Amino acid sequence: MKRDRFLPVSREDLAERGWDEYDFLVITGDAYVDHPTFGPAIISRLLESEGYRVAILAQPDWRRVSAFTQLGRPRFGVFLSSGNIDSMVAHYTVAKKRRHDDAYSPGNRAGLRPDRAAIVYANKAREAFGGDLPLIVGGLEASLRRFAHYDYWEDKVRRAILFDSQADLLVYGMGETATKEIAARLASGTPVEEITDVKGTAFIAKSPEACVYPKVECPSFEQVSGDKRAYAQANQIQYEEHDPIRGRAILQRHGARLLVVNPPAMPLTTAELDFVAELPYVREPHPMYDAMGGVPAIEEVRFSVAHNRGCFGACNFCSLAFHQGRIISARSHASVLREVEALTKHPGFKGYIHDVGGPTANFRRPACAKQRKAGVCKNRACLAPTPCPNLDADHTDYLTLLRQVRAVPGVKKVFIRSGIRFDYLLQDKSGEFFAELVQHHVSGQLKVAPEHCVDGVLDYMGKPHIAVYERFKQKYDRLNQRYGKQQYLVPYLMSSHPGCTMDDAVRLAEWLNRTGRQPEQVQDFYPTPGTLSTCMYYTGIDPRTMKPVYVPKDPHEKAMQRALMQWKRPEKRALVREALHAAHREDLIGYGKGCLLRPSAPAKAGGKPAGHEQGRRIQDQGRPDPKSPAEEKPRRRPAKKAGWAAAKPKKNARPKAKR
């Protein structure tokens, strides 16, 4: 197969191939980018490798039925995804304001897909092709909404997405194995309503007997809609059973009908992952977008390599655990090296591999040997709050891979930009990987995610305690000094996470002040579907313990928490002052070294401020006072981060950034 040949996107393309019909239509809410970090591209190329004729319909106009029939009717069915990013996260900030751009659309243009794109596309496809054509919905948006779920944008619990989409089947998780099985059965003539035993899928049934696997029932849609404790119980069951080895099917009633979510599919083996990664992708956006400015999302991944899948870090605000799962699978060294060698021949390659990473770059093996046979533990996280004694933190394999990539002719530098788990790195007692990370793989700044400094808040986040990050930073600084490097840490921090009180937010500001940091990027907690933290946000209950948790929901309180993390900014001063008063921390308003603000200047008689107070007032507006310690030198602006199957869920952030 030619690598410079895109899949058909028009009737002209079909005619050029001599096809008077085709087998499967793949609909995507993203622009068509034929690259292995775009889930719909993987699914399409995988179906092609199985011998099917596949056509792509990218970002169809959802207002017109004719837009969905422009390629004609497929023989066997439609596979549908809203794209790499949840459409609501792609469209709205955490403050529910419309975004003005979309990196996954041509020309960075917003508005080329609808809100709740998976539902809208599925309904329009059903209208276009009728009820007899099998319709399978997948991708991140469908995967995280496979159960009844809290919807932040409507502030209510919505039904499982299968009920609103009218799809026949839902594929959740990475999707390759399930997609191949479904396609084979449809092509053999099996009615879609009989395809009920494929792992990694969900369907609607009338009775529990339709499920062929060991099963457990969680509280119904009606129960979780009206009882927050029932919602928390359901959420916990869904997380506990999300394991391909020991997990059971989960049933959830929706009125007279029954949602059946089969157990997860097994992660791909190394050979299978190699095969998927090396399908004949063009690795570029379709040229039909050239006149529109191209597709910006390709820029972060064009010269990057994904070597792994899955994440046992299990941050509670991240959807990775509920989508890709906690068991790691990794590509072979030979496969990665073949991809790197191909990248060196790209006309735009300048010698820099931007990333050899994945959901978490330094995970290249299961957390422990037990996971390979028994699955992940139900009630134990691998890393937080403390590492499991069985944790295997050997970085030798990853280090060997990086050395081999560095040695490829034409490669000048190999960076790691997709993020590392610093707590996992510290568990590797050899220190060899840490040393080479600092020497060879940091592009000026290393991005890590301590998220907060208060241990109680970190426990709700599922993150290690702050002493671990501080130990990592000390060692990182020592290694940079040893090797004569001027490289910085860029810590990602989050405000207003469930469990974070105003007092905790003030303590975070104190910590930042004490450590000389003033973050330019701050992420307010974003309650995306399916995560444990979102469950806490909606219910006020920690589903792991069923105990109450404080949740900052008031927009003004959230604004104050966020402002505290950027207290030096002049436009934030009024909010910071209000927050300090609300937390009864007026001791931080003054002239001492640990103070965040200067006192407001009193006015003289007649309303004119005294000269000395005027200087203080100027400083309170954000300008340096010549009598005060110098302001911290500004840090370099952090570089932008690199970018159903390969979508790497972004941790409650804008589409361009991954936490």
Annotation-wise, does 377 bind a ligand?
no
Which DSSP helix (H) or strand (E) runs through 54?
A: strand 54-58
Could you tell me if 640 and 300 are in contact, meaning their C-beta atoms sit under 8 angstroms apart?
Answer: yes
Which DSSP helix (H) or strand (E) runs through 138?
A: strand 135-138
Tokens of 283: 């690795």
Annotation-wise, does 311 bind a ligand?
yes
Measure the CA–CA gap between 284 and 494, rounded to whole angstroms: 34
Per-residue 3-state assignment (H helix, E strand, C coil) for 300-328: HCCCEEECEECCCCCCCCCCHHHHCCCCC
Measure the CA–CA gap between 515 and 179, rounded to whole angstroms: 50
Could you tell me if 175 and 266 are in contact, meaning their C-beta atoms sit under 8 angstroms apart?
Answer: no
Q: What is the CA radius of gyration of the chain?
A: 26
Measure the CA–CA gap between 394 and 170, rounded to whole angstroms: 37
Crossing angle of helices 396-406 and 333-344, rounded to 10°: 30
Could you tell me if 367 and 382 are in contact, meaning their C-beta atoms sit under 8 angstroms apart?
Answer: yes
Per-residue 3-state assignment (H helix, E strand, C coil) for 214-268: CEEECCCHHHHHHCHHHHHHHHHHHHHCCCCCCCCEEEEEECCEEEEECCCCCCC
CB atoms within 10 A of CB 231: 24
Strand blocks (E) in 452-554: 488-495, 523-524, 541-542, 547-548
Measure the CA–CA gap between 516 and 261, rounded to whole angstroms: 49
Strand-pairing partners, residue 333, are none
Phi–psi pair at 287, nearest 5 degrees: -65, -15
Phi–psi pair at 513, nearest 5 degrees: -65, -45
Q: Which residues contact 280 (CB under 8 A, 6 or more apart)?
A: 1, 2, 3, 5, 45
Residue 301 C-beta-side C-alpha neighbours within 13 Å: 27
Phi–psi pair at 40, nearest 5 degrees: -60, -30
Q: Which residues contact 253 (CB under 8 A, 6 or more apart)?
A: 217, 220, 221, 222, 259
Buried b (16+ CB within 10 A) or exposed e, 572-601: bbebbbebbeebebeebbeeeeebbbbeeb
Tokens of 263: 């157990």
Annotation-wise, does 315 bind a ligand?
yes
The annotation places the binding site for [4Fe-4S] cluster at 311, 315, 318
